[in-house]
Amino acid sequence: MPVSPALAEDLAAAVADLYEAAQGTIIERIRDALAADIDSPLWLELKAASIGDLQAAVQAVIDALQLEASGAMQQAVAEAYERGQQAAVAELGALAAGQAAAATSAVPAAAAVDRLANALIADTGPVHMRILRQTMDVYREVIAHASSAPLLGAQTRRQAAQTALDRFTARGVTGFIDRAGRSWDMRSYVEMATRSTVGRAAIEAHTDRLGAAGIELVMVSDSPEECPLCRPWEGKILSRAGAPGARTIEAEHATEDEQMVSVDIAGSLDEARAAGLLHPNCRHDVRAYLPGLTKRPPKPPGRGTYEDTQRQRYYERQIRRWKREAAGAMDEQKATAARTKVRAYQARIRDLVDETGLPRKSRREQLTAAR
Ligand SMILES: [Zn+2]
């Protein structure tokens, strides 16, 4: 079976869920801290005095998150690597020339898994600092606002607290910049980083296993809804390892003795990936290429365009945003308004799915419950 980043991308959601759940818990902690004693004339003093308590409570949530997340990342990468190897074994078993090769023993995984998982844990390390800083900033902002007008009534205080909390709930912990300079919210950033790593693990495992079976060439699929980055690589043959650059080689026919076939190689797999092929969310896959045997597979029918899939992702983000807002609401009116927004974006997704035939991904519209 060919391998694509999609083989493992579901594993990233479990990791990102941990971050979303922690964010939900933290929002509840701030909301409860602000709401406590809100009718007391001493509210401002009480809040200022309890900054340290809230900070300790938030830090405890983050510590638990960090521990759980590194375990989950390690596990996701190991599972992705295993799936990649299994895909290679299944693929080799289905190839006339590959049956014997399929029996070759598994490529040892531990070193590759550790290397990939540790890089991911290091990449997402700064996320935890940022959670603490932005969370405490929201709380301080509310107190600073209240101190500037200390005679405000409880009702006004409640409104001011709600406004600040809403702003935070709407955007979440934010400001993560990837290598391409794009800005991400926390969940999307963690999910993107994890997807990228588990996708890499599945592909590395697959091609390492092909390599162990003596297969040095792979072919890129034709995909529906292909993104512009990958279009130039569709149907191309790449070398699993080795030098970049296009070339034509004479290769032994996979099954006919002493017959040579010329093969046009578009470059190396690393080179194509550096240029964007098999990026996170990529629909393409690579499969073993056997000279003289492997044919370019037909292009599967499309379901909507790449832009349609991006529109669906946007609606999903809006649904999660308004669900968060409903959960952080300090009164029923706010909660109702937020739920109306949720339903409006759900209706837009239903229309999009009806129009294009794209599959609906209900899971991506869910907010992970806070633990
Ligand atoms: Zn792609």
Span 29-72, pLDDT tens digits: 998 998 898 888 888 889 989 999 999 999 999 999 999 999 99
pLDDT for 339-353, tens place per residue? Answer: 999 999 999 999 998
The residue with greater pLDDT, 323 or 368, is 323
The residue with greater pLDDT, 249 or 345, is 345
Per-residue confidence band for 205, with pLDDT thresholds at 50, 70 and 90: very high
Mean pLDDT of the chain: 86
104 and 199 within one domain: yes
146 and 35 within one domain: yes
How many CB atoms lie under 10 A from the CB of residue 101? 19
119 and 63 within one domain: yes
Q: What single string gives the DSSP state of each residue in 59-125? A: HHHHHHHHHHHHHHHHHHHHHHHHHHHHHHHHHHHHSGGGHHHHTSPPPP-HHHHHHHHHHHHHHHH
Asked if 76 and 12 touch (Cβ cutoff 8 Å), the reply is: yes
235 and 334 within one domain: no
The residue with greater pLDDT, 104 or 127, is 127
In a domain, 94, yes or no: yes
pLDDT for the residue 370? 41
Maximal CA-CA distance, the chain? 93
In a domain, 334, yes or no: yes
164 and 110 within one domain: yes
pLDDT for 296-305, tens place per residue? Answer: 877 777 677 7
Query: Cα(30) to centroid of ligand 1, in Å?
Result: 41
204 and 237 within one domain: no
Q: How far is the C-alpha of 288 from the C-alpha of 215, rounded, in Å? A: 7
In a domain, 149, yes or no: yes
180 and 266 within one domain: no
In a domain, 371, yes or no: no
pLDDT for 218-247, tens place per residue? Answer: 999 988 777 788 889 999 999 998 888 888
Query: Cα(234) to centroid of ligand 1, in Å?
Result: 9
pTM for the structure as a whole: 0.76
The residue with greater pLDDT, 94 or 336, is 336
**Cα dist from 305 to 15, 134, 283, 310, whole Å:** 28, 37, 12, 9
Query: Cα(68) to centroid of ligand 1, in Å?
Result: 31
In a domain, 150, yes or no: yes
Q: Which domain holds residue 329?
A: 306-365
Query: Cα(28) to centroid of ligand 1, in Å?
Result: 38
Query: Cα(157) to centroid of ligand 1, in Å?
Result: 50
146 and 79 within one domain: yes
Instruction: Report how many domains make up the chain.
Output: 3
In a domain, 196, yes or no: yes
Query: Cα(195) to centroid of ligand 1, in Å?
Result: 13
Query: Cα(227) to centroid of ligand 1, in Å?
Result: 5
Sequence-distant (6+) residues with CB within 8 A of 77 are 113, 116, 117, 120, 197, 198, 201
Task: Give the residue-averaged pLDDT of 272-292.
Answer: 87
Query: Cα(230) to centroid of ligand 1, in Å?
Result: 5
Query: Cα(225) to centroid of ligand 1, in Å?
Result: 9
Query: Cα(277) to centroid of ligand 1, in Å?
Result: 6
- Residue 199 CA from chain centroid, whole number: 10
Whether pLDDT at 105 is above 80: no
Per-residue confidence band for 142, with pLDDT thresholds at 50, 70 and 90: confident
Instruction: Write the burial class of residue 335 (CB in 10 Å: 0-12 exposed, 13-18 middle, 19+ buried).
Output: middle
220 and 210 within one domain: no
Per-residue confidence band for 152, with pLDDT thresholds at 50, 70 and 90: low
Query: Cα(263) to centroid of ligand 1, in Å?
Result: 24
- Single out the residue in 299, 316, 344 at which a domain terminates: 299
Per-residue confidence band for 15, with pLDDT thresholds at 50, 70 and 90: very high
123 and 55 within one domain: yes
Asked if 205 and 7 touch (Cβ cutoff 8 Å), the reply is: no
Per-residue confidence band for 265, with pLDDT thresholds at 50, 70 and 90: very high
pLDDT for the residue 103? 56
Query: Cα(192) to centroid of ligand 1, in Å?
Result: 14
pLDDT for the residue 97? 55
pLDDT for 169-199, tens place per residue? Answer: 887 887 777 777 777 888 888 998 999 899 9
Asked if 80 and 9 touch (Cβ cutoff 8 Å), the reply is: no
Helix, coil or strand: residue 288: strand
85 and 46 within one domain: yes
- Single out the residue in 214, 243, 267 at which a domain terminates: 214
Asked if 44 and 19 touch (Cβ cutoff 8 Å), the reply is: no
Query: Cα(303) to centroid of ligand 1, in Å?
Result: 15
pLDDT for the residue 371? 33
DSSP-assigned letter for residue 231 = G
- Single out the residue in 279, 299, 319 at which a domain terminates: 299
192 and 119 within one domain: yes
Query: Cα(301) to centroid of ligand 1, in Å?
Result: 16
Query: Cα(143) to centroid of ligand 1, in Å?
Result: 47
Q: How far is the C-alpha of 115 from the C-alpha of 279, rounded, in Å? A: 19
Instruction: Write the burial class of residue 276 (CB in 10 Å: 0-12 exposed, 13-18 middle, 19+ buried).
Output: middle
pLDDT for the residue 330? 78
Asked if 206 and 263 touch (Cβ cutoff 8 Å), the reply is: no
In a domain, 370, yes or no: no
**Cα dist from 261 to 80, 213, 233, 248, 274, whole Å:** 34, 20, 21, 10, 28
pLDDT for the residue 96? 59
Query: Cα(217) to centroid of ligand 1, in Å?
Result: 19
Query: Cα(2) to centroid of ligand 1, in Å?
Result: 15
